Amino acid sequence: MKETKKCRLRADRVFLAMGIIVGTLFGADGLRRSLASQQPNNITIKGEFRNSEAVTEASTGNSLSYSTTDQFTTAFDGLKNLGYSERELYMDDISTGLLAVYTEDKPAHESDQGIMVDLSDEKNEYYSLVDKHVYLQKGAADALNSMMEDYANSTALADFIVYGTTDTYTGPDSYCPKSFSESKAGYSVDLALNAYGSVLTYDGNDYEGWIVDNCWKYGFIVRCPEGKKAQTGSDYCPWHLRYVGEINSAIMKQKDMCLEEYVEFLKQYSFDDPYTFAFNGDGYQVYSATGEGEKLVTRVPISGSYELSGDNNDSFIITIHKN
């Protein structure tokens, strides 16, 4: 019988094999890292995409700062449209809003009213009411309270009477003898004066002229100012105020425009070329959207502060607050 030979492992061969394995592993990892570092830096994504996390865009210069929402959006035309979405505006709403120009042919209706409040519940002590229940749009009521308080602090007087808003008496012996087709919308205030127990027509003079000079700071305008009869169709009526909001009243004051002129002025501005305005340290953009048919489409911020108003003719006016 032949003797079986025993197999013995040589230490030098074991160490050589282990060295080859380790070297192969390091080589493969290096190749993987090299390939990963060569991926392209500029990747273009086409088609629809979805933002699923809230991200705040930093505000620089004239750029807008808005938070994105969990909402589908499509490809946009450059960075100008980033943060905006399309909105459909319906012509049925063209008569509603702060800047609607009402005429005898196109008067305001109760359906054009916003949120209304009873001044008997909302007023402060710096003015009085002609009747127990007098209704006014909420924003206008807040502005009226602020204006009358500042008027009293400036003149030591509290002699104004809100003689009417939506239903001002204009019959015989009225202290506000002219009626206005816009009053029913709820943005108008007709004033008279309480003088030692008697009522006087407010003529915009003397200490009370403070209201004419300063109402724009609170979002009011004298609806029919001096020198604008050709545009408004009415003589000077200092006792008839119209609430249009602070930004609009400030622009109208700066440019010496009545409401008809202002609305016409804004028609030259669009989303692509808005009118820009700074007020109290903040920036604003104002533009018009005009169309035909039952509806039109414009762009508005996805999030943030903006206001819409019809002009009661053929356009909507969009006012954007830029933080």
- Please tell me whether residue 252 adopts helix, strand or coil conformation: helix
The domain of 196 spans 102-243
68 and 106 part of one domain? no
The 8 Å CB, 24+ separation contacts for 28-32 are none
Residue 236 belongs to a domain with what CATH number? 3.30.1380.10
- Farthest CA pair distance, the chain: 146
Number of domains comprising the chain: 2
Tell me whether residue 221 is in a domain: yes
pLDDT in tens, 50-105: 233 333 333 333 322 222 222 333 333 455 677 889 999 999 999 999 999 999 99
Distance CA 207, CA 220 (A): 18
Tell me whether residue 232 is in a domain: yes
175 and 296 part of one domain? no
- Share the mean pLDDT of the chain: 82
79 and 106 part of one domain? no
93 and 111 part of one domain? no
CB burial class (10 A; 0-12, 13-18, 19+) of residue 265? middle
- Please tell me whether residue 254 adopts helix, strand or coil conformation: helix
User: Do 253 and 222 meet the contact criterion of CB atoms below 8 Å apart?
Assistant: no
148 and 277 part of one domain? no
278 and 201 part of one domain? no
Tell me whether residue 179 is in a domain: yes
78 and 202 part of one domain? no
User: Do 174 and 201 meet the contact criterion of CB atoms below 8 Å apart?
Assistant: no
End residue of a domain, out of 228, 243, 258: 243
Q: What is the pLDDT of residue 66?
A: 22
171 and 188 part of one domain? yes
Q: How far from chain centre, in Å, is Cα 147?
A: 22
Tell me whether residue 23 is in a domain: no
Which stretches of the chain are assigned E, i.e. beta strand?
49-50, 72-73, 84-90, 116-118, 128-129, 135-137, 160-164, 188-195, 198-201, 220-222, 240-243, 275-279, 282-290, 295-301, 305-310, 315-322
Question: What is the β-pairing status of strands 160-164 and 128-129?
Answer: parallel
109 and 178 part of one domain? yes
The secondary structure of 92-146 as a DSSP string is: GGTT-STT----SSS---GGG--SEEEHHHH--TTSEESSS--EEEHHHHHHHHH
Residue 304 belongs to a domain with what CATH number? 3.30.200.180
The per-residue pLDDT string of the chain (323 residues; one tens digit each, 9 = 90 and over) reads 444 444 454 555 545 556 565 555 555 555 444 444 444 333 222 223 223 333 333 333 332 222 222 233 333 345 567 788 999 999 999 999 999 999 999 999 999 999 999 999 999 999 999 999 999 999 999 999 999 999 999 999 999 999 999 999 999 999 998 999 999 999 999 999 998 889 999 999 999 999 999 999 999 999 999 999 999 999 999 999 999 999 999 999 999 999 999 999 999 999 999 999 999 899 999 999 998 889 999 999 987 689 999 999 999 999 999 87
Tell me whether residue 233 is in a domain: yes
Question: What is the β-pairing status of strands 282-290 and 315-322?
Answer: antiparallel
110 and 161 part of one domain? yes
226 and 281 part of one domain? no
Terminal alpha carbon distance of the chain: 101
End residue of a domain, out of 208, 243, 278: 243
108 and 218 part of one domain? yes
